[in-house]
A and B are shown apart, each in its own frame.
Chain A
Amino acid sequence: MALKPVTTPDTEAATISLSIDGETVTAKEGVSLYDVISSMGKIVPAMCYHYTFDPFGSCGMCLVLQEGKKSPVRSCTAKATEGMVIRTDGDDLFAARKKAVEKHLSVHPLDCPVCDADGHCELQDMAFEHQVTDLANAKQKHIPEDTRSLVLDFNMNRCIACGECINICKDVQRIDALQFMKKGGFTQVVAKGDHALDCEFCGDCLAVCPVGAITNKFSKYVYKPWQLRKTTTTCNYCGDGCQMYVETKDTEVVRVTSPLSWKNKWGDRVDTINGHSGLCVRGRFGFQFIDSKDRLKEPLIRKETGLVPTPWIEALDTTAERLAHVKSRYGSEAIAGLMTARCTNEELYVFQRFMRTVLGTNNLDSSARYGHMNFVRAVHHALGINRMMNTSADITKAKAILVVGANVTETNPVASLRVKAAIGTYKASAIVVDSMQTNLAKLASHPAMVKPGTEGTFVKGLVKSVLEQDLIDPDLASQDPQALAALKAAAHTISLETVAEETGVPVEMIQEAARVFAEAPRSVIVCGEGILRQHDGYDHTLSLIDLAWVTGKLNKPGCGINTFAEEGNEQGAVDMGVAPEFLPGPEAYEQATARQKFSEAWGSTLPDAQAGKSLVEILEDCRTGKIKALYVVGENPLATLPKSFGVEEALSQLELLICQDPFMTETAQHAHVVFPACTFAEKDGTVTNQEGMVQFVRPALDPLGESALDWHIMVGLANGMGHALPYETTQDIQAEIRRLLPGYYNLGQPRPVAPDPTAYLRNGYAESVDARYGVRGRTQESGRPYGLKLIQLIYHSGKLSTKASGLMDISPNTGALRMSLEECERLGIAEGGRVRVTSDQGSLELGVQADVNMLPGTCAFPEHFNDPPVKDLVRVVVDPVTRVPYFKSTQVTIEKL
């Protein structure tokens, strides 16, 4: 671990100068010599080096000659020092490097023809480059292939012991699931303890393997790299927006790789703050849904016999006619639309324009309503911004990170690496508040395990503790004395003892956490579904803003409040105005000037300022019959919301339900019209990640069957209703977005945000803060002892990933309730035992699975599956301000059967 980043935000390393091939270069002291050479643009061959982890120095290729030393030195492990004289080229070095390649090749099988890495193999390239033609004393290892893992096969005959897989797992992923082991006379890479590999299956080891020693089970032997067409696109699973290459052969997706697989080894350790360009398990192995057999291939219209395949023209015509009929008979108010945040910005934009101008209704919403909207509304209200405040670089460089209710390693695995890097590489303190033992809690300096649903109370406790210990930002007293006084008065009503009792975290721990957070020069808050999708999520987000404000972490560089988005383009859905309260921008819909601007641009009047209904209200109005037609694009409210919410009943009241989806979802089965839509791999457009970067989505395949792009269908419907939308290509839509939202694309770079709480603090803050504080107790005191949580798994994202056979192989629906070992023992449940779980909403029998990460008193079930229907045990509570439906947790009793 000698070569940790020499230049951190806190310490600047000394500048030195050295001579390389007669040129004098300057560098930071302590940097790897390899980095210095590569920064000059010289390429020294290397197989075991990658800039994201410490040099390992096993391949022996990066040899250079240092003046004063007899034999060549390995430049990767050598540190650059003042006055070095280095030669990187020459016949003697070529011969020495050739010898190193020969050494590797002499124990490497020449099975290139059957190897999946053939053509994409660093050893092959090196052998070719160094003209290795003759191998004396070659021998074979004859090691059997390790196929025990579900995802990866380890063929250790091909291993060159470069250690890249082990290093990336340890230093970047911080999972440490692989190790070297001497077995059968050879050093081999095996899963820890020589068991079957059981990890997060991010596949970064597969990506960095320079040879074919680690291969992918899902595409084993079916391709050669040169046969595949690489399409650079953006992953659609979560809001991290990882860049990936979808590699296709004819009409099928063969594999997914990332820039890490085609790695550029040349970079500085400081560059690692921008990520390692890898993927997570979902992105890398969850591609099978794209060309799945279950995809819808033609439009369906409900006739007496059920849903009948119908030609596009007829389907669009009929639908447009029926929409026009509903509009003329019941008025625009009787139409509503829901859209998934997995669509591109352009589609979301066309959708809201279609709903607002063609149908004339402001009843529209996206899946960002399920939680992300709480964050957006809170920061919009308080700070005048619309997304998270920090970049991933800020998070990496933070000195203290408060992670509240965010199991980011499961929901946003690649963004979580920034938090892990902050903890591991830059030694940041981390306060992890969660009701489960998350992966981050295991790494954190201050893990605070709270009772389920009390994350918000803990935040209030932190605010209280900051006030008590006088950790208040000194500037506040002069800037906003009234607001500060109001907060102090509001916090007066709670005591740390009650918070400690509520949350189950000792007072000292809260005090300590408050000190760590307030005293660090750069503190970052990351909140997640544990706050945003729980009761009073909006209020809790405001409390987090209080905390950042009172400690002075709102406006300082490198500080801020963040959340990671759950679905691919939730931020884009907000920015494009797919919500009744927002116009594109997002600008508040109530603002007359904003409405005026868009109504002029679109040449059409917009619905009234008070007209819009959000997701929950739309479904309620469907049930009462106020809404007669519902246009659902990629959403699936029937499977997402608990049964007690009555979605099925609501949908059955509709006169016209239009579903547009790549798959036959539960909602689509009730539809009158089903349009086959494309997946992201067939689309062209952009998505906005949680950081505000607008990234490209490019088509890797032609649309499957007769499926069509979402916006094509909307434009088709608009034409059918006699209100043509002026779009022929995606570029037309982009041009319009550019015109109306100048600088939105911003060349793919996040636009800096400037949070400004002044207006919020001076207008009505005192009244609202008073209402927010005061421990109200846990929302459902029903006397039921266990907190049931619907959790997210790293292997899944929403319901989409359950269509990917690879992810279902890795993580099938076990149908079992996850409980801690102690709790299982206490209830006397053996492995595979069954229990009856009862909540106020009902009762159901299911299996039990011991999970070491659960705390006593809690149990959990993955929200991605609905068999058995655990989510039906939960009652939907709607946020009074943001209308976000909360249905992620409840209290239950558990009886052994």
Chain B
Amino acid sequence: MDTPAQTKRFLDAVLFREIWKAMKVTFKHMLHRPMTFQYPREKRTIPDAHRGALGLLRYDNGQERCVGCDLCEVACPSRCIKVISEEDKSLPLQRYASEFYIDITKCVFCGYCVEACPVNALAMTKMYEYSTHDKRTLLFDKERLYDIGEQHLEDAKKYLYAHNQEDDDEESRAYRYHFPQPIGKTEAPDS
């Protein structure tokens, strides 16, 4: 029974049509740039406003920007931030965060904490690689957060710029809080 359908199947088999079809896709792809890239070796360019890992920042002279005001803690919708503040023993009358924790497994990357920060000590970076064998390491402590801030300082600054928080270093100085100095350091205590 010779039908057109059979003829077509015969021709497909003889002429390797499927292979030509497939090769057509292959050759087409040879001609345009690849969609994927070789992830660990190649990385995507990320926009400045990207909300990645949180980092803590320092001023140019190395002093911590964070004054331990706990506002990020209240702003956080997923309650992943814990700040423990106290008076800085080395710098009298200055408030600082003696401990600072962000549970990055709970973080929803909303960026509210950055907006809440009055001194722009927190910023989001383009860092997004958290994979680990031990989930406990995802509770970022103060040291780790300052590390992130240091390693991704440029990204952090760009983030703040992109979110209209801080235009340049000049403005960061304007936001800086200057604590008053104690008096009576030189005066003898009255009896």
Binding site for B on A (CB under 8 A): 111-114, 118, 142-148, 153, 155, 157, 195-196, 198, 220-224, 226-227
Contact = CB atoms under 8 A, between A and B. Distances in A.
9 contacts: A113-B71, A114-B67, A114-B177, A145-B183, A148-B183, A153-B93, A221-B68, A221-B87, A222-B85
Given A221-B87, A222-B86, A144 B190 contact: no
Contacts of A118: 69
Contact of A195 (B84, B118, B190): B190
Contact of A221 (B74, B85, B189, B190): B85
A499 B180 CA distance: 61
B71 A147 contact: no
A142 B190 CA distance: 24
Contacts of A220: 87
Nearest to A227: B70
Given A155-B180, A221-B68, A148 B189 contact: yes
Given A113-B69, A113-B118, A226 B183 contact: no
Nearest to A158: B180
B179 interface: yes
| Number of chain B interface residues as a range | 20 to 34
Interface string B177-189: 1011111100101
A145 B94 CA distance: 11
A147 B92 contact: yes
Contacts of A143: 180
B119 interface: yes
B142 interface: no
A157 B93 CA distance: 14
A784 B190 CA distance: 36
Contacts of B95: 114, 221
A791 B187 CA distance: 33
B87 A144 contact: no
| SS class, residues of chain A in contact with chain B | loop
B180 A144 contact: yes
Contacts of A222: 84-87
5 closest A-B pairs by CB: A113-B69, A195-B190, A144-B183, A221-B95, A148-B184
Contacts of B184: 146-148, 196
A625 to B, nearest CB: 53
B84 to A, nearest CB: 8
B190 A196 contact: yes
B171 to A, nearest CB: 16
A136 B60 CA distance: 31
A223 B69 CA distance: 9
Contacts, number: 64
Given A198-B190, A221-B95, A226-B74, A157 B179 contact: no
A112 B74 CA distance: 14
Interface of B: 67-71, 73-74, 84-87, 92-93, 95, 118-119, 177, 179-184, 187, 189-190
B5 to A, nearest CB: 78
B119 A148 contact: no
B177 A224 contact: no
Given A144-B182, A146-B184, A221-B68, 7 more contacts: A111-B177, A142-B180, A143-B180, A146-B183, A221-B86, A227-B70, A227-B73
Nearest to A224: B70
Given A114-B69, A221-B68, A222-B85, A147 B182 contact: yes
B139 to A, nearest CB: 17
Contacts of B69: 113-114, 118, 224
Contacts of A195: 190
A416 B85 CA distance: 38
Contacts of A227: 70, 73
A145 B177 contact: no
A107 to B, nearest CB: 14
A746 B155 CA distance: 67
Residue with the greatest number of chain B CB neighbours at <10 A, chosen from A113, A153, A155: A113
Nearest to B183: A144
Given A113-B119, A222-B86, A147 B183 contact: yes
A392 B147 CA distance: 61
A429 B67 CA distance: 54
A112 B117 CA distance: 12
Residue with the greatest number of chain B CB neighbours at <10 A, chosen from A118, A142, A148, A227: A148
Nearest to B96: A221
B177 A113 contact: yes
A113 B116 CA distance: 10
A752 to B, nearest CB: 49
Contacts of B181: 144-145
Nearest to A140: B178
Nearest to B97: A221
A153 B94 CA distance: 13
Given A113-B69, A113-B118, A221-B87, A148 B187 contact: yes
Contacts of A157: 180
Nearest to B190: A195
A145 B190 contact: no
A832 to B, nearest CB: 12
A111 B95 CA distance: 11
Contacts of B189: 148, 196
Nearest to B180: A145
A45 to B, nearest CB: 25
Given A196-B189, A222-B86, A113 B67 contact: yes
Contacts of A226: 74
Residue with the greatest number of chain A CB neighbours at <10 A, chosen from B74, B86, B183: B183
Contacts of B182: 144-147
A221 B67 CA distance: 10
Contacts of A196: 184, 189-190
